[in-house]
């Protein structure tokens, strides 16, 4: 394992959930600030309210049943990163934003995936979870469904062979942004209910998803605490995993006024703009 010189990163733990557009805008605003040399690399933990279906950057909107989304009170947002659809609810989401020359994220996409996966894995194992990561040779095939959690990709976190934590990464304009979804509890099959699928295919895919993916509560074999307490416990474990694995001092901080202003622009211009959401 690479030995890194001690570095200071900022840690942001959002105490209150945010909308999908706000979450994506803040992630990108922080990444842009890192690229401009205006901020420290940042590890962020957050949640979503209302629940949101996030689409990968290049995923067609037609793969989502918008009527079913509306009936359930969900939102739809398009991520700046790739991958397939995720339903964000009952989960912890993490993000890492840094300039492209930060040693812990420099190199190829897979190089950074591996380093960050090792940090995530260390944190999850500290909770008593028998977790592992998918081999680097694993790639999603051309026939993968619209559901992100159907199969793990290279270095994504698994528990007993089932996908637990999925991640996606964007490398552009001098920054690296990686974020990922860790379902804490609940029915993972809820995502299938809002995909545009024939009824017969929907039932089969729901069965496949529940067989191939798992929540943290099910993987640990324990009932979770109240959502806020569960979120705080897992965030602390992952924080320690990052600090120990990547030789980091994580300093608790907040968004800067410039990041908040940029996020507001990104919400209006991009993440809450139908032209962005409906672009494919």
The least confident of 7-11, 15-19, 42-46, 150-154 is: 150-154
Domain definitions of the chain by residue range:
7-277
Confidence grade of residue 199 (pLDDT, cut at 50, 70, 90): confident
In this prediction the pTM is 0.93
| Residues with a known catalytic role | 148
CATH of 7-277, one of 3.40.50.460, 3.30.950.10, 3.30.420.10, 3.30.930.10: 3.30.930.10
Residue 250 has pLDDT above 50, yes or no: yes
> Which residues, 6+ apart, have CB-to-CB distance to 233 below 8 Å?
127, 225
> Which residues, 6+ apart, have CB-to-CB distance to 161 below 8 Å?
none
Residue 141 has pLDDT above 50, yes or no: no
Crossing angle for the helix pair 109-125 and 227-246, to the nearest 10 degrees: 120
State residue 148's pLDDT score. 46
Judged on CB neighbours under 10 Å (0-12, 13-18, 19+), 245 is buried
Tokens of 246: 């990547």
State residue 138's pLDDT score. 61
């Amino acid at each position: 394992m690479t030995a890194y010189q001690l570095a200071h990163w900022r840690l942001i733990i959002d105490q209150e959930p945010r909308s999908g557009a706000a979450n994506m805008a803040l992630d990108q605003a922080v990444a842009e600030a890192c690229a401009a040399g205006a901020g420290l690399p940042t590890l962020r933990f957050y949640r979503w309210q209302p629940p949101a279906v996030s689409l990968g950057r290049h995923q067609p909107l037609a793969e989502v049943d918008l009527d079913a989304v509306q009936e359930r009170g969900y939102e739809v947002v398009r991520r700046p990163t790739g991958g397939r659809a995720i339903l964000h609810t009952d989960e912890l989401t993490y993000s890492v934003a840094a300039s492209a020359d930060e040693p812990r994220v420099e190199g190829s996409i897979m190089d950074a995936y591996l380093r960050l996966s090792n940090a995530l894995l260390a944190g999850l194992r500290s909770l008593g979870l028998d977790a592992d990561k998918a081999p680097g040779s694993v790639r999603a095939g051309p026939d993968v469904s619209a559901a992100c959690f159907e199969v793990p990709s290279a270095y994504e976190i698994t528990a007993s062979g089932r996908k637990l934590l999925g991640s996606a990464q964007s490398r552009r304009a001098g920054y690296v942004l990686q974020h990922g979804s860790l379902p804490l509890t609940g029915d993972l099959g809820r995502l299938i209910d809002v995909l545009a699928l024939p009824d017969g295919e929907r039932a089969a895919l729901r069965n496949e998803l529940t067989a191939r993916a798992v929540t943290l509560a099910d993987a640990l074999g324990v009932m979770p605490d109240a959502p806020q307490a569960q979120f705080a416990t897992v965030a602390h474990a992952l924080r320690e995993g990052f600090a120990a694995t990547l030789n980091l001092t994580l300093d608790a901080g907040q968004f800067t006024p410039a990041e908040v202003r940029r996020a507001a622009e990104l919400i209006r211009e991009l993440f809450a703009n139908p032209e962005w959401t409906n672009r494919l």
